[in-house]
Amino acid sequence: MATVNKNLSDYDKNTVPNAKDFRFGIVVSEWNDTITEGLFKGAITALLENEVPSHHIIRWNVPGSFELIYGSKKMLQTQNVDAVIAIGCVIQGQTKHFDFVCEGVTQGIKDLNVQTDVPVIFCVLTDDNMQQSIDRSGGIHGNKGTEAAIAAIKMAYIRQQASLSHQIDNQHLLSAGALRIENLPLQIEE
């Protein structure tokens, strides 16, 4: 389904987990800042509407979308966040640079999701022209920042539940008598 058939700001509040204890990092590209500020507004509004305390949200700015990769990596490495939202807007110019920036930031953020334990949400517009970006950052097609914030809450919840499940599994094993190998007395053969 293309964006034209779906308003990016629409979501069912009943499907959004309780987010009041989660902390979020938001990394914002300064390229096309009229658009990225609109995306940020959509994201911060959705987080606050879902009871995320304002002091649980940390924002960093980076020069362009390509720097979202490093900025998001340092955000999740140094700040105690449950998810990161990477906000950018890449618009086709006269050269193939658009293709390389879009591919680079896409692969870079994918790599962060594979290699780290904190979900990084891809809130990067990759548009043919400024009007498409306006339409998707609070215009007729809604706000991708809103969509990204809801995704961030849902992924933070999945991360939390996965961690709890892992702890329960371990606790179950220990309580069922599966002692840790390092606690067993070692019998040294003479």
Ligand X SMILES: CC(=O)[C@@H](O)COP(=O)(O)O
- Interface residues toward ligand X, by CB under 6 A: 90-91, 93-95, 97-98, 101
Span interacting with ligand LW54GNZ2, options 87-95, 115-123, 136-144, 165-173, rule CB under 6 A: 87-95
94 binds, among ligand LW54GNZ2, ligand X, none (CB under 5 to 8 A by kind): ligand X
Q: Is 66 marked as binding a ligand?
A: yes
Distance between CA atoms of 29 and 36, rounded to whole angstroms?
Answer: 7
Q: The tokens of 169 are what?
A: 């599994």
- Nearest of 125, 98, 142 to residue 10 by alpha carbon: 142
Over its C-alpha atoms, the chain yields an Rg (Å, rounded) of 20
Q: Is 120 marked as binding a ligand?
A: no
Q: Is 90 marked as binding a ligand?
A: yes
Task: Give yes or no: 172 in active site.
Answer: no
Span interacting with ligand LW54GNZ2, options 17-25, 61-69, 161-169, 182-190, rule CB under 6 A: 61-69
For residues 96 to 135, the per-residue mask of contacts with ligand LW54GNZ2, x marking binding by CB under 6 A and - elsewhere, is: -----x----------------------------------
Alpha carbon 188 to its chain's center: 51
CB contact at 8 A, 29 and 105:
no
CB contact at 8 A, 24 and 81:
yes
Span interacting with ligand LW54GNZ2, options 10-18, 41-49, 62-70, 171-179, rule CB under 6 A: 62-70
In sequence order, what are the residues at sequence separation of 6 or more whose Cβ sits closer than 8 angstroms to the Cβ of residue 184? none
Say whether residue 67 binds ligand LW54GNZ2 (CB under 6 A): yes
Q: Is 136 marked as binding a ligand?
A: yes
Catalytic residue from among 55, 56, 97, 141: 97
Alpha helices in the chain (DSSP H): 33-49, 68-78, 97-115, 130-135, 144-175
Residues taking part in catalysis: 97
